[in-house]
């Protein structure tokens, strides 16, 4: 007897996979789960009513509708918990894709030994990935190193790895980071901290840490007490935080919204500046004190 195959897909719009049936025309759920881990059943769209119908499942055995599988495409059913996990994985993939299209930047290397040459830098950083450019900044007149330089990589992932750690170069610890000069004079440094809104009270700091570790190294998690329905998560890489901003993610079945967590001192300075603008007498008083409010308002 020729082996019969049925067409199965995770979604109606996806290309189906052929799954073998048993000699009696039934299909084992384990056979489906082998190709679609976590599957708990099948459904199909009825050609007449155009409604979705479930395939009968008895003791791990799927029975053909009206004893004939036909040429229909059968869609995989998943338990709700598995579906939630898949949604979380899709969200993670979307953020990773968003990060992957970001271009690499010139990184500044601080604390270089005076003797370190550009070839030394290239040899060292080539161990992390392909290097596009290295440069040691030197004094124009003497030609001596100024103690810092720049490096740029081909791959974003390499850049992230390099930023996340310190580097021993020619016997000295050096830091490698995005230069502050990339921001304009009125533009704050990019924060490594994100604001997680719409949290539920049963979410713990450990659960948040485990969830966000899929995007990058997490250095801190903070949930205010008393509970206020939000939390803060800090990453080692500010580009991870930047990529997550604006996303809606599913954590323990709850949709949370991610936004930028602006440092408190920026907010307070902004508030004070506006307040003094509206109160000339107070502004004059501040002029007579050592306090210096933002230069844009002086």
Residue-by-residue pLDDT tens, the chain, 298 positions: 467 899 999 888 888 999 999 988 899 999 998 888 888 999 999 888 888 999 999 989 999 998 889 889 999 998 875 555 556 666 666 666 555 456 788 898 988 998 999 999 999 999 999 999 999 998 888 888 888 899 999 998 899 899 989 899 999 999 898 875 444 444 444 678 899 999 999 999 999 999 999 888 888 999 999 999 999 999 887 778 877 888 888 898 888 899 988 655 444 454 455 544 544 554 444 444 444 434 333 3
Q: Cα separation of 71 and 73, whole Å?
A: 7
Specify the 3-state DSSP secondary structure of 30: helix
User: With b meaning 16 or more CB within 10 Å and e meaning fewer, what string describes 123-157?
Assistant: ebbeebbebeebebeeeeeeeebebbbbbbbeebe
- Model pTM score: 0.34
């Amino acid at each position: 007897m020729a082996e019969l195959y049925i067409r199965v897909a995770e979604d109606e719009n996806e290309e189906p996979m052929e799954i073998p049936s048993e000699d009696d025309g039934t299909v084992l759920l384990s056979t489906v789960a082998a190709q679609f881990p976590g599957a708990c059943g099948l459904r199909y769209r009825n050609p007449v009513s155009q409604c979705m119908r479930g395939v009968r499942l008895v003791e791990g055995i799927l029975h053909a509708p009206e004893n004939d599988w036909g040429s229909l495409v059968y869609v995989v059913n998943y338990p709700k918990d598995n579906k939630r996990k898949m949604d979380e994985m899709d969200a993670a993939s979307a953020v990773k894709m968003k990060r992957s299209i970001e271009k690499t930047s010139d990184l500044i290397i601080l604390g270089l030994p005076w003797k370190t040459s550009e070839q030394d830098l290239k040899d060292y950083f080539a161990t992390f990935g392909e290097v596009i450019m290295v440069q040691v900044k030197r004094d124009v007149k003497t030609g001596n190193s100024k103690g810092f330089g720049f490096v740029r990589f081909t791959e974003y992932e390499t850049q992230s790895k390099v930023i996340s750690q310190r580097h021993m170069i020619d016997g000295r610890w050096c830091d490698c980071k995005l230069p502050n000069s990339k921001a304009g004079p009125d533009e704050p440094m990019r924060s490594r901290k994100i604001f997680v809104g719409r949290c539920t009270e049963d979410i713990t700091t450990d659960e948040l840490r485990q969830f966000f570790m899929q995007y990058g190294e997490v250095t801190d998690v903070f949930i205010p007490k008393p509970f206020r329905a939000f939390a803060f998560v800090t990453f080692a890489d500010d580009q991870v935080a930047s990529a997550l901003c604006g996303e809606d993610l599913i954590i323990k079945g709850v949709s949370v919204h991610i936004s930028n967590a602006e440092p408190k001192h920026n907010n307070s300075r902004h508030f004070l500046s506006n307040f003094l603008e509206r109160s000339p007498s107070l502004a004059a008083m501040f002029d007579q004190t050592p306090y210096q409010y933002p230069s844009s308002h002086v």
